[in-house]
Amino acid sequence: MKWLNALNDYKYYLKIERGLSENSIINYQLDIEKLINYLEINSINVSPVQIDYDTVQSFIYTTSKQLNARSQSRLISGLRSFFAYLVFEDYRTTNPLDHIESPKIGRKLPDTLSIDEIDTLILAIDLSKTYNNICIGERNRAILETLYSCGLRVSELINLKLSDLFFDEGFIKVTGKGDKQRFVPIGPNTQKYINIWKSERAKINIQSEYKDTLFLNHRGKQLTRAMIFTIIKNLAKAINLNKVISPHTFRHSFATHLLENGADLRAIQLMLGHESITTTEIYMHLDRSHLKDVLLKHHPRK
């Protein structure tokens, strides 16, 4: 079928030309699958290549009843991108999303943790429990310290290699979205906890494909994203933290605390691996007192 070829080409385009992560590509694909399911359920005998404005509008109206404004906006944006690709590659001549507006949404500010909350979470890690004589608590402490002190995404953390550690120079090499690499500073305290974990790691019977992977489970395999979420969720529960947090919360806290302490926004952008500084600018909204301090310190008419 012609539209299946178009979908496969689109996924290749997202991966190769736009350099999107596997998770982002899956989300784009799910948007298209929702549209295809809608056509099948309602016995609308057209393919995405042939679909018209009225049908797309009806699909979005029906689907949006179950979504909040942010999810609606993401759905519309994903479909608009797909149809723009179809037009560009001459699968069709018009984009049926051109005249469909996304709902107005406010810019969502990221949740953060205070320094005390981060310290309390790390202190809650049980360093007494072992698996096969391996202290997994030392691994978990090193994980949280690395997330917070380096501002990593969870995917960047689980893919971190021993060969990415340049402790003598004070940096780690991080592979981010689209396989783009950057060097991020790492402090002596975090280096210390990683080295402690490396001593525990040496006791593991590591499977051959994970010999260079830094963070492993006790069976010698790479940790999953879900496992990192579970570690953090359990620690939050243990200290009765009244916040919903994830690995990304540590990344947000990293950026926010740097900004509060006077770090340059451009430097934060480079450390986070943001392609555009407008993404980093969201942290400017978190601490208005910082803006006031900058004005009083640097403006000639303070």
Ranges 52-61, 97-106, 114-123, 251-260: which has the least confidence: 97-106
Contact 122, 144 (CB under 8 A): yes
Judge whether 108 lies within some domain. no
Query: Is residue 198 in a domain?
Result: yes
At 6 the pLDDT is: 76
What is the predicted pLDDT for the residue at 301?
Answer: 55
Q: Do residues 151 and 273 share a domain? A: yes
Mean pLDDT over 272-293 rounds to 65
| The pLDDT of residue 244 | 83
**Do 83 and 149 fall within a single domain?**
no
Per-residue pLDDT, 143: 98
- CATH number, residue 198: 1.10.443.10
Domain count, the chain: 2
Domain for residue 266, yes or no?
A: yes
The larger pLDDT score, comparing residue 187 to residue 281, is at: 187
Question: For helices 115-123 and 136-150, what crossing angle results, to 10°?
Answer: 170
Range of 52's domain?
2-88
- Supply the pLDDT for residue 294: 53
Catalytic residues: 153, 177, 248, 251, 274, 283
- Rounded distance between C-alpha atoms, residue 211 and residue 209, angstroms: 6
Question: What's the CA gap between 200 and 22, in Å, rounded?
Answer: 31
pTM of this structure: 0.65
Strand order in the sheet with 171-175: 165-166, 171-175, 181-185
Q: Is residue 101 situated within a structural domain? A: no
In a shared domain, residues 124 and 159: yes
100, part of any domain: no
In a domain, 97, yes or no: no
Answer whether residue 286 shows pLDDT above 70: no
pLDDT tier at 3, thresholds 50, 70, 90: low
More confidently predicted of 6 and 139: 139
Containing 181, the helix (H) or strand (E) segment is strand 181-185
Q: Point out the domain boundary residue: 34, 53, 88.
A: 88
Q: Taking 90 as the threshold, does the pLDDT of residue 9 lie above it?
A: no
Indicate whether 141 pLDDT > 90: yes
pLDDT digits (tens, 9 = 90+) for 227-269: 999 999 999 999 999 888 889 899 989 988 988 888 888 888 8
Q: What are phi and psi of 97, to 5 degrees?
A: -95, 0
Instruction: Collapse the DSSP code of 213 into the 3-class scheme (helix H, G, I; strand E, B; otherwise coil) and give the result.
Output: strand
pLDDT greater than 70 at residue 109: no
Q: Compute the mean pLDDT over every residue in the chain, rounded to the nearest whole number.
A: 85
- Looking at residue 289, its pLDDT comes to 52
Joined together, the tokens standing for residue 195 give: 């080295």
pLDDT of 205 higher than 90 = yes
251 and 184 in a common domain: yes
Same domain, 164 and 44: no
Confidence of residue 136 (pLDDT cuts 50, 70, 90): very high
Mean pLDDT value across residues 72-83: 86
Do 56 and 133 fall within a single domain?
Answer: no
Closest residue by Cα to residue 165 from 127, 123, 201: 201
**Residue 166, helix vs strand vs coil:** strand
Residue 144 has pLDDT above 90, yes or no: yes
List the beta bridge partners of residue 213: 161
Task: Provide the pLDDT for residue 107.
Answer: 56
Model confidence pLDDT, tens digit, residues 154-204 = 999 999 999 999 999 999 999 987 788 999 999 999 999 999 999 999 999
- For residue 272, tell me if it sits in a domain: yes
